[in-house]
Amino acid sequence: MTVLEQPGSSRNKSSLAGPPPAWQPRVDPTPLLPDAEPYRLLGTDAAARLDSGLLTRLYTELVRGRRYNAQATALTRQGRLAVYPSSTGQEACEVAAALALEDRDWLFPSYRDTLAAVARGLDPVQALTLLRGDWHNGYDPQEHRIAPLCTPLATQLPHAVGLAHAARLKGDEVVALAMVGDGGTSEGDFHEALNFAALWQAPVVFLVQNNGFAISVPLAKQTAAPSLAHKAVGYGMPGRLVDGNDAPAMHEVLTEAVARARRGGGPTLIEAVTYRIEAHTNADDATRYRSDAEVETWQAHDPIALLERELAARDLLTDAFVGATRDGAEQLAADLRERMNADPEVDPMDLFTHVFAEQTSQLRAQAAQLRAELDAESAGHTEDAAGTDGSAEEARP
């Protein structure tokens, strides 16, 4: 007999009293539940109310984003980047994340969200420092209000909660947008961040990009929940499900969640249903775990193509506009290519500069050791140079 089969184990049949009458559900779960289908605007009647200026802005950013992804991937083949996790196919999520925020807000990206940082205005070369490997982070997070690209999964989410909470304690109307993938929702930090955010009613928006796979593991092996957006209910915050390839829908849902957080309405969990068109990174072989047919289905639901249909229906997809957009994207890529093809300057002494505010005696000693090694190395180079010098050859017996 299992526990479940024991007499009286079912609450309904139990003759024992229930919880004392003081017990009340804390929140009515119904308004927190996500819709059954991902929210869409493109291709629906509601698309008619969309502002043309917003649509052209989104289109420009999507095209730039795709070109950026292609260029960064090309740079890995040339050995200029150690690795690049492409967000091709997910550009609408990245762009919406950037455009939904005001300057005073903070973005907490995962390692795949370089594009969101660039769309927010970060210098593309600075955004790639981690992936090039000249340092772990190439920009001042305070200046751009973009946390460092986070490599451990979901650990940046509690940071976003803490920052948003601190801002509110100080009376600043700052919102934090935290990005995570579907795989990251299985991590403990995801749970703890959502729980804290809801308890504190922190002005945070959690954006889950459900791109189908955590490296090779599909969502079906990641969660048994009806959707990732449903997880919100358990924490007492609203969950929203949105088509991650529908740029205006993404923009609208995120903008609403950000506005709600700003006016004290608390956190929101948004699941963007999208797809990773490229492999996990350039080092991954996606053919081992998914079919070409599946990829093609999603390519037919491409965020740029979806938006182009709406622009064409409005006669906005003119040759001049498309050409100017492409030129802008090419310029971005050319600039990135050119600047990334220069070897970055790295100072070995930086290894010791930023461990502690005040250098320890141990680190001072190690810095002196490295300094001596570098001096010996450069002296050796000078000797080598002298050795290959013509006059030195003549001087030999």
Partner 1 sequence: MTTTAPATARKPATMAQALTRALRDAMADDPSVHVMGEDVGTLGGVFRVTDGLAKEFGEDRCTDTALAEAGILGTAVGMAMYGLRPVVEMQFDAFAYPAFEQLISHVARMRNRTRGALTMPLTIRIPYGGGIGGVEHHSDSSEAYYLATPGLQVVTPATVEDAYGLLRAAIASDDPVVFLEPKRLYWSKADWSPDAPTEVAPLGRARIRRRGSSATLITYGPSLPVCMEAAEAAGAEGWDLEVVDLRSLMPFDDETVCASVRRTGRAVVVHESNGFGGPGGEIAARITERCFHHLEAPVLRVAGFDIPYPPPMLERHHLPGVDRILDTVARLQWESDWTEGRGE
Residues in touch with partner 1 (CB under 8 A): 135-137, 140-143, 147-148, 152, 155, 157-167, 169-170, 176, 188-189, 192-193, 195-196, 199, 350, 353-357, 360-362
Least separation in angstroms between CB 237 and partner 1 = 14
Given the complex with partner 1, which of 12 and 362 has the nearer CB atom?
362
Strand bridging mode 217-218 / 213-214: antiparallel
Catalytic residue (one of 64, 112, 132, 280) = 280
Q: Can you say how many angstroms the Cα of residue 77 is from the centroid of all Cα atoms in its chain?
A: 23
Alpha helices (H) in 137-230, listed in sequence order: 141-144, 156-169, 188-200
Given the complex with partner 1, which of 67 and 112 has the nearer CB atom?
112
Within 10 angstroms of residue 188's Cβ, the number of other Cβ atoms is 9
Given the complex with partner 1, which of 161 and 279 has the nearer CB atom?
161
Least separation in angstroms between CB 369 and partner 1 = 13
Least separation in angstroms between CB 205 and partner 1 = 14
Is 288 designated active site?
A: no
Least separation in angstroms between CB 352 and partner 1 = 10
Least separation in angstroms between CB 162 and partner 1 = 3
Given the complex with partner 1, which of 162 and 328 has the nearer CB atom?
162
| DSSP-assigned letter for residue 113 | -
Strands (E), the chain: 106-108, 176-181, 204-210, 213-214, 217-218, 239-243, 268-273
Name the token pair of 336: 């990135």
Burial of 53 (0-12, 13-18, 19+ CB in 10 A): exposed
Q: Which residues contact 33 (CB under 8 A, 6 or more apart)?
A: 230, 233, 239
Is 59 designated active site?
A: no
Catalytic residue (one of 289, 290, 301, 314) = 289
Q: How far apart are CA 230 and CA 270, in angstroms?
A: 10
Amino acid at 284: D
Given the complex with partner 1, which of 259 and 365 has the nearer CB atom?
365
Given the complex with partner 1, which of 148 and 181 has the nearer CB atom?
148
Tell which residue, 231, 161, 222, 157, has the closest CA to residue 186: 222
Percent composition of the chain: helix, strand, coil (DSSP 3-state, to 5):
50, 10, 40
Least separation in angstroms between CB 262 and partner 1 = 16
98, 116 in Cβ contact below 8 A? yes
Q: How far apart are CA 180 and CA 93, in angstroms?
A: 11
Name the token pair of 83: 């690795």
Is 136 designated active site?
A: no
Least separation in angstroms between CB 235 and partner 1 = 11
Given the complex with partner 1, which of 164 and 250 has the nearer CB atom?
164
Catalytic residue (one of 67, 112, 120, 276) = 276
Q: Which residues are catalytic?
A: 276, 280, 289
